[in-house]
Chain A
């Protein structure tokens, strides 16, 4: 590498032996995290800080008639109270035009209610006081008068004739003719390939079934938390854990009516997000309170607030019909998804329609999605949003199809597997992908061949996620001693700092330990899209690689100056500038050159601000063995293997960790997790005792197989890996249980009560 034109170009490293990429280094932020020194959202303190609590609706659906804050304001120690009236009005049509359409109106109203509340836990007011205890007392003194309305708690109830309508301005999108009355049906979307009538006409075997799932939460262990301060001249500082400091800045600015340049957001370490922290809840409230009180305000959610009022993901139903010829060729696929969006439109139903059939080369597809509002909290993204539910249905249907055809479910998948050039359900053809490779790896895995005992069953399922690129920025700064700082704008949610440092180390040719990666605030690095969509190692990694290449070119220019030769004479090898006519000049290390930075033009650095394209999709195949206790309905997961095409594993341990974590979330989704509401719409399981996520004693080791089909869109072949792992497990578990009991399990979660009713034929 020694060529200025290489900056910004994709340098093909495929086939090259990596020196540091792929090694299992200790992460640079690791020591702080194992000693309890790392600062998460609730760990910040600001001088003069006061504490805030929220007042939340106990009703699932109600009009707010009156809010009286007088008694609260009189309480000694109370510094400020805010209600919806303290926030600027936002036009109902105000949407963020960019990637996904985000309704600012909905977001602002979800943050704090205006004239109506739409779910149990909807914020109605917030109060800040000199202690958390006083704030809590003050919150209880705020009097809210409601006119309680009938809630609709399921899509079915919401779509009934004469069902109470949540939003008078909500007219169904995507249907013709356009409706003249508002309803709870927010949108219809559809994707078609070929002709399913003709397709099913060719089928020898057809399976059709409706599958249901419940509302589940991302379940991050760290509740939302922030500290906000605002100076007298309106400069806002926010410390919070989030999946994107620039996202927080933009949304706070919008909801509070402040210019973006007046808001600075410093990212704390984040204790889990999984998509649930790609939106904001507390920050605008804290900012508004800080403004009124003239003091920094700390706000932390309690666990029950997290579960009641932050975006879970949609529950819903999926009707899937598959047709195949006798020889196993799948000729047609028909899917209808109905997802509960929660209080405001925007369930990921469209993404479900686009991903469900993606692992298969099916020429005739129809996928219809219905987005329905209900009186539950507004859904937020949860790891591959929309895909797990659709995949649960499709992968269960493929399993049923295999049974009917008398075919091995793995062989059926191999026969129909999407490959490079296959047209995805959303019409785009795939580039190089590794789906078939995951099936081959499953076939060769020790688990696939292991014998099973009584009451045991094995399930296999596949899954797909697009993975995205997007805007990322990176700066590579060379210190006087030749060590390097790599600054990016993406919170580290799973070990990405280590991967950034490894990629920079590989390009610069210096040891990983000489690199310090950091996650910068919104004023110290150019704009970066949030951490999500499995994009950071791919897109931010690409920016880091390009920034490091840019730094290398700067280092080469300095060496050329030092040697007084033309730039073309200077190559960069293994962390050193090497003169082509090597007998004239000895190589200069990065430290040598850095020591002379002032003399050769000033500080040495490189940067890259990119919008990364070329993301490669991820496919996974999971195998699950279970044992069912026919008396209690309890399911034990005996063995689990997660196989995925990961492109190139920059740090294999953290890639394995993504597969294991996503698989276990999916196991929880399949076996235990669900929101339980009372008839009047109050959430009953508001804590981890009754919202039961998997614990260590529920599980075996999660074996992983990393298949590496490099993504040509990234210099090192990286594919996003984080989201795909949650897509296969719902069906992998359900298929296993179905085989164990000899009956199809189509309704999740397969809790003991539900499973017993299936076993007993109720």
Chain B
């Protein structure tokens, strides 16, 4: 069967790729577009390592088909920093050691950014429940939660 031609916008730039029907958006990002920042941890939407924004909504790219990206707007970890200017979340993750192996970090950054865009002043509980879909095995989450809350405070100008 012929591949599908997908035209989409990724991190503000026009992007095109060919894909099979069953390829997920994650497969397409990683294998067709060479954007390996989003990671596959489970391919079943349980770990959040592939978190991306689809039309402004936080999704697991492994649960979205590549063809669904046609005409859509996608934001990935690769678009979070502006050139060499890191996003406050990224700075706080670094300053507060909120990563150890780093494989879950892209997913957390994208998910946390989505949270702060919706709720700039979340409580610790709100942060924990929003991020409950992002698994981390190294950190025990403590420093991640602190980094998100401190980044939120900085972004509020608090």
A33 at the interface (CB under 8 A from B): yes
A87 proximity list for chain B (CB < 8 A): none
A251 proximity list for chain B (CB < 8 A): none
Q: Which residue of B lies closest to A298 (CB)?
A: B31
B134 proximity list for chain A (CB < 8 A): 696
* A303-B41, A303-B44, A654-B100 known; A35+B77 contact, CB < 8 A: yes
Using an 8 Å CB-CB cutoff, how does the interface string of B116-131 with A read, 1 for contact, 0 for none?
0000000011011101
B77 proximity list for chain A (CB < 8 A): 35-36
* A31-B94, A653-B143 known; A39+B99 contact, CB < 8 A: no
From the candidates A30, A35, A493, A689, name the one contacting B46 in the complex (CB within 8 A).
Answer: A689
CB contacts under 8 Å to A, within B44-97, are 44, 46-47, 49, 76-78, 80-81, 86, 90, 93-97
4 more CB-based (< 8 A) A-B contacts, given A36-B37, A272-B103, A653-B143? A42-B39, A272-B101, A651-B97, A693-B137
B105 at the interface (CB under 8 A from A): yes
From the candidates B34, B39, B95, name the one contacting A40 in the complex (CB within 8 A).
Answer: B39
B145 at the interface (CB under 8 A from A): yes
Is the CB–CB distance between B132 and A696 below 8 Å? Answer: yes
Give complex CA distance A581, B78 in Å. 56
Give complex CA distance A694, B131 in Å. 12
Give complex CA distance A502, B93 in Å. 20
* A36-B106, A223-B41, A693-B135 known; A661+B100 contact, CB < 8 A: yes
Is the CB–CB distance between B140 and A221 below 8 Å? Answer: no
Q: A176 → chain B, closest Cβ, in Å?
A: 43
Q: Which residue of B lies closest to A303 (CB)?
A: B42
Give complex CA distance A651, B43 in Å. 35
Give complex CA distance A696, B147 in Å. 13
From the candidates A38, A218, A273, A303, name the one contacting B102 in the complex (CB within 8 A).
Answer: A38
Is the CB–CB distance between B138 and A272 below 8 Å? Answer: yes
Is the CB–CB distance between B97 and A653 below 8 Å? Answer: yes
**Residue of A271, A303, A689, A701 contacting most chain B CB atoms (<10 Å):** A271
Is the CB–CB distance between A269 and B101 below 8 Å? Answer: yes
B93 proximity list for chain A (CB < 8 A): 30, 34
Size of the chain B interface, CB-CB below 8 angstroms:
58
CB contacts under 8 Å to B, within A565-616, are none
Give complex CA distance A493, B99 in Å. 10
Is the CB–CB distance between A657 and B137 below 8 Å? Answer: no
CB contacts under 8 Å to B, within A630-667, are 651, 653-654, 656-658, 660-665
Is the CB–CB distance between B36 and A689 below 8 Å? Answer: no
Q: A219 → chain B, closest Cβ, in Å?
A: 5
B131 proximity list for chain A (CB < 8 A): 696-697
A90 proximity list for chain B (CB < 8 A): none
Using an 8 Å CB-CB cutoff, how does the interface string of A484-519 with B read, 1 for contact, 0 for none?
000000000111000000000000000000000000
Q: B64 → chain A, closest Cβ, in Å?
A: 18
Q: Which residue of B lies closest to A219 (CB)?
A: B137
Q: Which residue of B lies closest to A218 (CB)?
A: B137
From the candidates B90, B103, B141, name the one contacting A271 in the complex (CB within 8 A).
Answer: B103
Give complex CA distance A696, B76 in Å. 22
Is the CB–CB distance between B104 and A221 below 8 Å? Answer: yes
Give complex CA distance A303, B46 in Å. 10
A300 proximity list for chain B (CB < 8 A): 40
Is the CB–CB distance between B43 and A35 below 8 Å? Answer: no
Is the CB–CB distance between B138 and A657 below 8 Å? Answer: yes
Give complex CA distance A693, B136 in Å. 9
Interface residues on A, range: 35 or more
Give complex CA distance A651, B140 in Å. 18
Using an 8 Å CB-CB cutoff, how does the interface string of A210-224 with B read, 1 for contact, 0 for none?
000000001111110
B144 at the interface (CB under 8 A from A): yes
* Chain B interface helix/strand/loop/mixed: loop
Give complex CA distance A42, B41 in Å. 10
Q: A676 → chain B, closest Cβ, in Å?
A: 16
* Residues of A in contact with B (beta carbons under 8 Å apart): 24, 26-27, 29-31, 33-40, 42-43, 45, 133, 218-223, 269-274, 300, 302-303, 493-495, 651, 653-654, 656-658, 660-665, 687-689, 693-697, 699, 701-702
* A36-B38, A699-B141 known; A30+B100 contact, CB < 8 A: no
Give complex CA distance A222, B38 in Å. 12
From the candidates B22, B44, B97, B124, name the one contacting A687 in the complex (CB within 8 A).
Answer: B44
Q: Which residue of A lies closest to B42 (CB)?
A: A303
From the candidates B40, B125, B140, name the one contacting A223 in the complex (CB within 8 A).
Answer: B40
Q: B151 → chain A, closest Cβ, in Å?
A: 11
13 A-B residue contacts at CB 8 Å? A33-B105, A34-B99, A34-B105, A40-B39, A218-B137, A220-B101, A223-B41, A664-B141, A665-B140, A696-B132, A696-B136, A697-B125, A699-B140
A657 proximity list for chain B (CB < 8 A): 97, 100, 138-140, 143
B142 at the interface (CB under 8 A from A): yes
Q: Which residue of B lies closest to A33 (CB)?
A: B102
Is the CB–CB distance between A494 and B101 below 8 Å? Answer: yes
Give complex CA distance A688, B48 in Å. 11
B20 at the interface (CB under 8 A from A): yes
Q: B85 → chain A, closest Cβ, in Å?
A: 11
**Residue of A40, A221, A271, A656 contacting most chain B CB atoms (<10 Å):** A221
Give complex CA distance A62, B155 in Å. 60
Is the CB–CB distance between B141 and A696 below 8 Å? Answer: yes
Is the CB–CB distance between A271 and B102 below 8 Å? Answer: yes
B22 proximity list for chain A (CB < 8 A): 133
Give complex CA distance A220, B101 in Å. 10
Q: B20 → chain A, closest Cβ, in Å?
A: 6
B78 proximity list for chain A (CB < 8 A): 35-36
Q: Which residue of A lies closest to B76 (CB)?
A: A36
Give complex CA distance A33, B109 in Å. 11
Give complex CA distance A494, B78 in Å. 23
Q: A537 → chain B, closest Cβ, in Å?
A: 13
* A35-B78, A35-B81, A133-B20 known; A688+B100 contact, CB < 8 A: no
Q: Which residue of A lies closest to B96 (CB)?
A: A653
Is the CB–CB distance between A42 and B40 below 8 Å? Answer: yes
Give complex CA distance A31, B91 in Å. 9
* A494-B100, A654-B97 known; A663+B140 contact, CB < 8 A: yes
B90 proximity list for chain A (CB < 8 A): 31, 34-35
Give complex CA distance A38, B109 in Å. 15
Give complex CA distance A657, B78 in Å. 26
Is the CB–CB distance between A696 and B101 below 8 Å? Answer: no
Give complex CA distance A120, B90 in Å. 41
Q: Which residue of B lies closest to A39 (CB)?
A: B36
Q: A95 → chain B, closest Cβ, in Å?
A: 31
Give complex CA distance A654, B139 in Å. 9
Q: B156 → chain A, closest Cβ, in Å?
A: 21
Give complex CA distance A45, B33 in Å. 12
Give complex CA distance A714, B77 in Å. 40
Is the CB–CB distance between B137 and A221 below 8 Å? Answer: yes
Give complex CA distance A689, B125 in Å. 21
**Residue of A30, A35, A223, A493 contacting most chain B CB atoms (<10 Å):** A35
Is the CB–CB distance between B46 and A688 below 8 Å? Answer: yes
Is the CB–CB distance between B102 and A269 below 8 Å? Answer: yes
A222 proximity list for chain B (CB < 8 A): 39, 41, 101, 103
Give complex CA distance A174, B30 in Å. 51
Q: Which residue of B lies closest to A652 (CB)?
A: B97
**Residue of A34, A493, A651, A688 contacting most chain B CB atoms (<10 Å):** A34
Give complex CA distance A34, B22 in Å. 29
From the candidates B37, B43, B46, B128, name the one contacting A696 in the complex (CB within 8 A).
Answer: B128
B125 proximity list for chain A (CB < 8 A): 697
Is the CB–CB distance between A661 and B42 below 8 Å? Answer: no
| A-B interface, 6 closest residue pairs, ranked by CB to CB distance from nearest | A36-B37, A271-B103, A33-B102, A664-B140, A653-B97, A660-B140
